[in-house]
Structures are given as C-alpha cells and as structure tokens.
Amino acid sequence: MLPNLASSWKTGPLGELCDLIMGQAPKGDTYNDRGVGTRLIAGAGDFGPVTPMPKKWTTSPTKMGKKGDIILCVRATIGDLNWADSEYCYGRGVGGIRVNNRIDREFVWFWLEACKNHLLSLGRGATFKQISKKDIAGLPVPDLDLSEQRRIVARIKECMERVGEIEDLRRGADSNRSAIAAAARYEAFRSDHATYELSKIISEGPTNGLYKHSKFYGSGAQILRINNFSSGDVLEHPKGLKRLLVDESELHRYALKSGDIVLNRVNGSLDVVGKACLVESLYEPTVFESNMMRFTVDQERAYARYVLHFLASPLCRDQIKSRAKVIQQASINQKDVASFLIPLPPMEEQRKIVERLDAVCGVVNELAQCATDRLSPILQLRESILRKAFSGEL
C-alpha cells in the first residue's frame, strides 16, 4: 500500500520525472575479482550501508550508471537503496533512477524509502520476486514545487538526525561492550609462550568460498554470508540464511562442516576483514560465500575456540592490518592467514583461556542482545517520520 498523502497533493508517474536504467547482466566470462574493468552491481549483495561495495568487475559492461543515480534493488530484496558514488555497471538485480531538474534527488530517495512495502507487493515470480521498469515508472510521486520538496527533505533530515543521535548513543554502548571483549582477549594472548604460524595448526585449508551470479539465489542450499555473523560467533544451527542453487560438485567442495572456522577475506572496510566465526553444528547443507575463506584446526594441537578468540584479539587484528592490501577494497589472502603468528600454550592452558573468554564474551553478548531488542522502536521511528512527512504533517 502506498503512503497516505496530504489531501491537497497531486501526483505524477516517476517515469516522467526520472530516467530509468534497468540493469542487464554481462556475460559470465567477463567477470573478475582483480579490479579489471568496470565495477559491477549484480544485486543487493553488492550494496553497502549508503554506497555500493561491489565484489566483481566486468570487462564488458552492459547498462551503465552514473554518479548521483539512485540504485534500486528490483529483484529478491526489492526496494533496497544505495547512492551511486561513481560509474557502475548495473546487473539484472538493480536499476538506476536518474532524476531530472523537475524533482529533488533526496526527495525521490525518501519517497522510495516510504514506498518500499508497496514495491515489495508488486513483486512477481516463482523463484525470485521481481519488479519491472513499468512498475517503477508508474509509481506515483507527489508533484510539488521544488521549494516544497526541499523543505520536506530538510525536515526529514532534521528528524532523522535526532534518530541518528539516539543510534550514536547505542553505538557508543556497543563500542564499550566491544572494548571489554578486546581487553580480555588482549590479556589472554599477551603471553611468553612460543608463537607459531597458523599454518602449523591448520589441518585443512584455507580455501575461498563460492561465487555464483545473483540469479541462482532464492532456493537450494543455505549460504553463509558476511552479514550472518559477528566476530567471534559460534554458529549452532543457523537459521534465516539465504539460499543458493548449487550442483553436487559445488556442494561437495564448499559445504561447511562442524569445526570449520570461516573468515572474511575482502571487504570495503578494513575493520571487517578478518571477521571470523566457528561452525559448531548445522541442520542442513550450508555453503559459504566467495568473500570468505574457511579452514579447520588440528584438534591435537589447538582448540578451535582458542583460535577463534585469537582471530578476534588485538594481537591478530594488528597482523591483519599489516598484511592487508587496500586498493578499492581491503583484502587478505590465504598465505596471509596461514602466516598469522599465534601463541600456542599447552592444550590444558588453552582450555582455561577459552573458558575465561567464553564467560566474558557471554556477558557481552547478553548486553548486545538487550540493545538489539531496543532497536525495533528506532526503526519504527524512522518509518513514522516518513509517513508524517508525506502526509503533510512535517
């Protein structure tokens, strides 16, 4: 359902106020992850918080976007938005909205945010819900003077800033909780024990994950993605994961198993590179995404949980930052991970360290869950601001 508008407002179709560029997938053999060609946005998986964080490039771009476009996800996670901060190739999972001088770009952005549920309701398709160019072009937009559009944008931004201040307070609390865990890990790994390269205690791996085009998402095996875990998480029967069509050979090669450690290898943020989790148990076959790698620890030499805590420790973070390559994205490779130097005390001492750190992190995670439970009203507040703005109440 569309937002309720002020009774005096007229509307016009979005397609008359903007140019719409619907994405088209380049040929598969033109893709690469080496930074050659044009950055590709295949779908919402390449979205960042505000601007894109693409994982692939193409040497034969199809539909090109320009800096300043509003990028709209039109497939699967319909309605997600990003700003184009550069030129991109648009794959079939997205479309570009390029406004003309009759309408304010930010006004369109906020209107699309307000219409997300409506756009979702227009989705069609058995495997993947998708909206068409006709759906987007026909979306009614309030037809107001530019001055009024900009006044409404200013009021929305003013209100959103107050919400942002609340979120900053929550993030500050999150930072304090993270500092507690980091301090505990710093003390745990600040020892006189001999250090060894991580490769000496790895029994299998590291190996990189699976990349497949966004058209294969929607059904099949579960796939673990970078946003499915936090640093130091232990995954027990994870639920709510996206699904990916895989064949038997892909499942055999990329299926996760109990005891695997999964680690992020490439990201737009260096702080996220190296984020790791431990797979404890799985209800069903689960593969892992290409921006991650996985390895298994030799259980006769180290506890997997000990290694997991090490990967989240300041000692390891320093090594990640010193080894990472930063071009358009930050990344580490398999050799980098294998070369991490880890203090290796006897197994009994490792066990005691794990018990202490598990206890500290357990308390931290409980506090984090309390903060998460309070996040829903903040999201509802954002939605309320948009509703009031477009009903003429702001």
> What are the tens digits of pLDDT across the range 60-119?
999 999 999 999 999 988 999 999 999 999 999 999 999 988 899 999 999 999 999 999
How many helices (H) and strands (E) the chain has is answered by 10, 24
Note whether 316 and 256 are same-domain residues.
yes
The first and second tokens of residue 185, run together, are 């890990």
Note whether 204 and 340 are same-domain residues.
yes
The first and second tokens of residue 280, run together, are 């404890």
Note whether 218 and 319 are same-domain residues.
yes
Give a yes or no: residue 279 inside a domain.
Answer: yes
Give the contacts of 252 (CB within 8 A, at least 6 positions apart).
none
Determine the pLDDT at residue 374.
Answer: 57
> Residue 176: which pLDDT band, with cuts at 50, 70 and 90?
low
Note whether 207 and 296 are same-domain residues.
yes
Query: Quick count: other Cβ atoms within 10 Å of Cβ 189?
Result: 21
> Residue 29: which pLDDT band, with cuts at 50, 70 and 90?
very high
Residue 115: in which H helix or E strand, if any? none
pLDDT at 325 over 80: yes
143, 162, 177 - which closes a domain: 143
Determine the pLDDT at residue 8.
Answer: 87
Note whether 254 and 138 are same-domain residues.
no
Closest Cα partner for 266 from 32, 30, 33?
33
Determine the pLDDT at residue 233.
Answer: 86
Give a yes or no: residue 208 inside a domain.
Answer: yes
- The 8-class DSSP code of residue 327 comes to S
Contact between 214 and 42 (Cβ < 8 Å): yes
d(C-alpha 275, C-alpha 262), whole Å? 8
d(C-alpha 224, C-alpha 287), whole Å? 6
Determine the pLDDT at residue 105.
Answer: 95
Give a yes or no: residue 176 inside a domain.
Answer: no
CATH number at residue 93: 3.90.220.20
pLDDT at 1 over 90: no
344, 359, 379 - which closes a domain: 344
261 conformational bin, left if phi > 0, alpha if psi -120 to 50, beta if neither: beta
Residue numbers of the domain that contains 85? 13-143
Three-point CA angle 53, 57, 63, nearest 5°: 90
Q: How far is CA 304 from CA 57, 242, 295, 297, 376, in A?
A: 35, 26, 10, 6, 34
Domain count, the chain: 2
The first and second tokens of residue 154, run together, are 């200013």
Give a yes or no: residue 388 inside a domain.
Answer: no
Note whether 206 and 334 are same-domain residues.
yes
108, 128, 143 - which closes a domain: 143
Note whether 240 and 340 are same-domain residues.
yes
Instruction: Write out pLDDT tens, residues 188-201.
Output: 888 788 899 999 99
Coil, helix or strand for 352? Answer: helix
Note whether 103 and 217 are same-domain residues.
no
Give the contacts of 28 (CB within 8 A, at least 6 positions apart).
213
d(C-alpha 351, C-alpha 359), whole Å? 12
Determine the pLDDT at residue 260.
Answer: 95
Coil, helix or strand for 175? Answer: helix
- pLDDT over 90 for what percent of the chain? 63
Note whether 200 and 332 are same-domain residues.
yes
Note whether 117 and 17 are same-domain residues.
yes
Give a yes or no: residue 235 inside a domain.
Answer: yes
Note whether 122 and 235 are same-domain residues.
no
Give a yes or no: residue 175 inside a domain.
Answer: no
Note whether 201 and 339 are same-domain residues.
yes
